[in-house]
Chain A
Amino acid sequence: MNALVIVLIAIGGVLLGTAAGYWLPPHGRLSARERARPVRRILLPFSGQAISRRSFEAAVRLAKAENAIVMPAFLARVPMNLPLESPLPVQCARGMPLLEAIEQRVASQGLPVESRIARGRSSRDALHRLLEQEDFDRIIVSADENPYSGLSYDDLRWLLEQAPAEILILRPAPEDDRRISVNGANAHV
């Protein structure tokens, strides 16, 4: 009798194990990082074909420390003679390789990344529209009035006064010359 019970328990165990095998995801448990869902969102806006290395590194450092999502955003400018909702294939073709290069570099650090493309009449307008649509915890830009973010000093002032997020404006530095461009980023990945 006892032997029968043991056999039945063993068969039950095997069936349960098989069912669990089907039920659970094939690659086992989630990592600690995956279990702790990122809640903070760090925006890294740009409009050119390169971004400042300091901005990128700051975004990665903060994302690691805060368990945040890095969100690179390409700011596309719609010419005044086009409707605001116009497709912008030429600009997208220019901005997208960098967007993907940033994504790959962030992902290679084991961090979550989520990209955006925003459009507006100017870089500031595109950023403004993006901020109206989504919440971000931090925005990282370089203080250099430069082709990276496409934001002027006046835009940075506006960002500080109006943006509903913590703003991290990085002082220009010599290493800004070591910008991250598509080729440079690909070389590192």
Chain B
Amino acid sequence: MAAGVGKTIRMLIEGRVELEAGRDVVIGLLETHGRAETAQLAEGLPTLPRMRVSYRQADLEEMDLRAVLSRRPELCLIDELAHTNAPGGEHAKRYEDVQEILDAGIDVLSTLNVQHLESLNDHITELSGIRVRETIPDAILARADEVVLIDLTPEALLDRLRAGKIYPADRIDAALNNFFRIENLAALREVALRQVAEEVGAKRLTTELSGSRQESLAADAPQAVGERLLALVEPYPGTQRLVRRAWRSAQRLGAELDLLWVRMPGQKLSEDSERSLSALRQLASVLGAKMLEEESDDVAAAVADVASRRGTTYILVGRSRPARGLARLRVPLPQRLMARLPGVDVRIVADRSQRAKADSP
């Protein structure tokens, strides 16, 4: 979640447990940041010497990748996964070192703050106003067999900071005024909890799909992982309201939002519709929703197909425009969707401006 929550401590505790269980454990790299508690926990765990690197007349210390590989422990503890190595090393990033170690058949325990995940970096920058430069691709985290969240309330973390357990006394004020503000920490905590919930859900899905009840589990699992909303849109002005309502619902549920426009084959758009479509794409981009476009003359079938592929749990449709001719005899779209997608909620979104009209005398 953030510096000082106890990631390194937890890594060392896990390492000690493994060592006592008889496994060959070494510390590949440990950053104590001068914390006595951390250094104390590392005592008794074999530690590999660091490699010295000279850069711009400064001596830097990095993890010695070759030493880890030649020592070939069963488990290697490597702190600060998102760290950028000093220039001149084999790899630019520490996670690349870790990948090579994993490929050599060595298990790795490592630590990472949530803001270092590439996909969350922009979001966290917007929440906190602080850009974190060192990031790792999400695929690295996805490769982990197990992700453990070190959770601490923002208040407890601030207490630790003020007590000098995280930074030396001369850095405490600066930390309190910058990153360590309660609203930042609360936002980071929320993001971290969600991220780990998603990781756990995705892992469970993968594990279960390798079992024999593949089909039924594939159908059930997305609900447990989290909500994913799909809003059906058309390029006309009223659709923006539907998208905004869908986005707010997605925000409340902490869910991803997809927008789907099913275009009739060969359909030509008027100038107004083209403009509305462009505005819709822009809105999707600002909101962070994914805009999907499918070509089909069977809307329900196209929606069902997309919903299955995307693991949709919730479909939002606008109020249909009045049907004409024989179209009046057709079963309405929401009913057709419910028939095709059992277990998926279908919600018809009302136009609240119409309610305003109805209320006015």
Binding site for B on A (CB under 8 A): 22-27, 76, 79, 81-83, 85-93, 96, 99-100, 103-105, 107-108, 110, 112-119, 133-134, 189
Contact = CB atoms under 8 A, between A and B. Distances in A.
B240 A87 contact: no
A104 B45 CA distance: 66
B283 interface: yes
Contact of A82 (B125, B247, B353): B125
A120 B352 CA distance: 29
A87 B286 contact: yes
A133 B278 contact: yes
Contacts of B283: 117
Contacts of B354: 107
Given A85-B285, A89-B126, A96 B244 contact: yes
B286 A93 contact: no
Nearest to A100: B244
A99 B237 CA distance: 14
A113 B240 CA distance: 11
B356 interface: yes
Nearest to A21: B328
Nearest to B326: A22
A118 B240 CA distance: 13
Contact of A90 (B126, B247, B322, B326): B126
Contact of B241 (A26, A91, A100, A116): A100
B147 interface: no
Interface of B: 122-123, 125-127, 129, 131, 237, 240-241, 244, 247-248, 251, 275, 278-279, 282-283, 285-288, 322, 324-326, 328, 352-354, 356-357, 359-360
Contacts of B353: 103-104, 107-108, 113
A114 B237 CA distance: 6
Contacts of B328: 22
Contacts of A134: 275, 279
Contacts of A99: 244
Contacts of B286: 76, 87-88, 92, 117, 119
Given A92-B287, A133-B278, A82 B322 contact: no
14 contacts: A76-B286, A79-B125, A86-B122, A90-B126, A96-B248, A103-B241, A104-B356, A107-B357, A108-B356, A108-B360, A112-B237, A113-B237, A113-B353, A117-B287
Contacts of B248: 96
Contacts of A113: 237, 353
Contacts of A119: 286
B322 A27 contact: yes
A17 to B, nearest CB: 14
Contacts of A112: 237
Contacts of B275: 134
Given A24-B324, A92-B286, A86 B360 contact: no
A171 to B, nearest CB: 30
A4 to B, nearest CB: 30
Given A100-B241, A117-B286, A119-B286, A83 B122 contact: yes
B324 A23 contact: yes
Nearest to A107: B353
A107 B357 CA distance: 7
Nearest to A104: B356
Given A25-B322, A115-B240, A89 B356 contact: no
Contacts of A83: 122
Given A82-B126, A103-B353, A93 B237 contact: no
Given A27-B322, A134-B275, A93 B360 contact: no
Nearest to B329: A22
Residue among B251, B275, B282, B352 with the most chain A CB within 10 A? B282
